Amino acid sequence: MRNDGLFIAVEIDDTITADAELAKKLTEACPVDIFAVADTGGVELVEGNIDECVLCGLCLAAAPAGAVKIIKIYDEEALLTR
């Protein structure tokens, strides 16, 4: 699952989007509320908040390696690294 803002894109590996535990962790970790717990219990991206990403990397730390990607659209799609 990938969702693009103007400056930032967030991609979540499709194999973990239904993980309720991870959804809770990401929601707690993100300081600008990019992640939410979906009605189904999985991970949901809040479209309006994606460009608020402060590149803190806390979501990367909360998720298994490579499961969440923060992409800087303005920097030739460079990936934020932990």
Question: Residue 81: is it exposed, middle or buried by C-beta count within 10 angstroms (0-12/13-18/19+)?
Answer: exposed
d(CA 22, CA 8) in angstroms, rounded, equals 21
Cβ 6 to other proteins shortest distance, Å: 6
Compute the least distance from the CB of residue 62 to other proteins, in Å: 22
CB atoms within 10 A of CB 13: 15
Q: How far apart are CB 34 and other proteins at their closest, in Å?
A: 12
Q: Catalog residues that contact other proteins under the rule CB under 8 A.
A: 6-7, 32, 51-52, 54-55, 72, 74-75
For other proteins, the closer of residues 13 and 51 by Cβ is 51
Nearer to other proteins, 32 or 61 (CB): 32
